[in-house]
Amino acid sequence: MNGPYNPGTPCWIDLMVPDQQAALDFYCDLLGWQGEVGPAETGGYAVCTLKGKPVAGIMKAMNPDGSVPDPLPPTVWTTYLSTDNIDGTVKSVTDAGGTVMMGPMDVMDLGRMAVIADPTGAVVGLWQPGTFDGAGIVNEHGALIWNELTTADLPAASAFYSSILPVTTHRSEIPGAEGYIEFQVDGRAVGGMMDLTQLPPGVPPHWQAYFHVDSVDEVQAAAVRAGGSVLAPAFDMAVGRMAVLADPQGGAFSVITATTPEQPA
């Protein structure tokens, strides 16, 4: 990736965990990343890289004063959607029935961020780039390839995201994926949306990150050896072979070997 992502496109992901170093060890070993705890002025935020390019962030769960939250927040990957006007986007969130969980804030000269929840309860970040555009590599082994919203109200989610960002939603035309909804920017699929009823009871609305891997089965086995768990064992689906995994601290993510390129950027 060279240059900023088009507004509405997933551009970055990061993980908040109780044990940052353990998470760095797990993902660096599993996906071939490089990463270390960052400087104190950024709260130790770690920017993980692949081939020298940024691919994901990992941070320790902490309060603004540096203390440990009680209770600890859930370990989750957060998807960030690109915007060229974060203040305007955040204002439109409340107008569209969403909730602002963290208002726009500067991240040094890197950009501005915010965290919101859509009307169905799914949490997602917003990113307005400064000197940092987001993921520098996508669609390669170990890198982000897809971001997917799972929600109990597809029409409400479609209306919400289309009202706050320049995205449209369309039913997939891929054979075998009938009923799957694509988020599109300028006519190009940049993410997906599926019905929560397809998942086990009790799973909340959420955004999920997918990493491309050369062998889903090998990565699944490696994740288990490293203390991770399998939420959905490797299976073949319309655009490739995938599995849903969780790291040892409970952070869920998907891995996929795509046979049809699904490019988020």
Q: Could you give the CA distance from residue 83 to residue 127 in angstroms, rounded to a whole number?
A: 6
Q: Which of 211, 216, 207, 221 is nearest to 242 (CA)?
A: 216
Q: Starting from the edge strand earliest in sequence, which strands make up the sheet with 206-212, in order?
A: 168-171, 181-185, 188-195, 144-151, 206-212, 252-258, 240-246, 229-237
Indicate the helix (H) or strand (E) that contains 181: strand 181-185
DSSP class of 44 = T
3-state secondary structure at position 46: strand
Q: How far apart are CA 222 and CA 205, in angstroms?
A: 28
- 10 Å CB burial of residue 168 (0-12, 13-18, 19+) is middle
Tens of pLDDT along the chain (265 residues) come to: 667 899 999 999 999 999 999 999 999 999 999 999 999 888 899 999 999 999 999 999 987 777 787 788 889 999 999 999 999 999 999 999 999 999 999 999 999 999 999 999 999 999 999 999 999 999 999 999 999 999 999 999 999 999 999 999 999 888 877 789 999 999 999 999 999 888 888 889 999 999 999 999 999 999 999 999 999 999 999 889 999 999 999 999 999 999 854 444 3
Map tokens 């070993």 to a residue.
Answer: 29
Residue 122 has, within 13 A of its CA and on its CB side, a CA count of: 28
Q: Is 73 left (phi over 0), alpha (psi -120 to 50) or beta?
A: beta
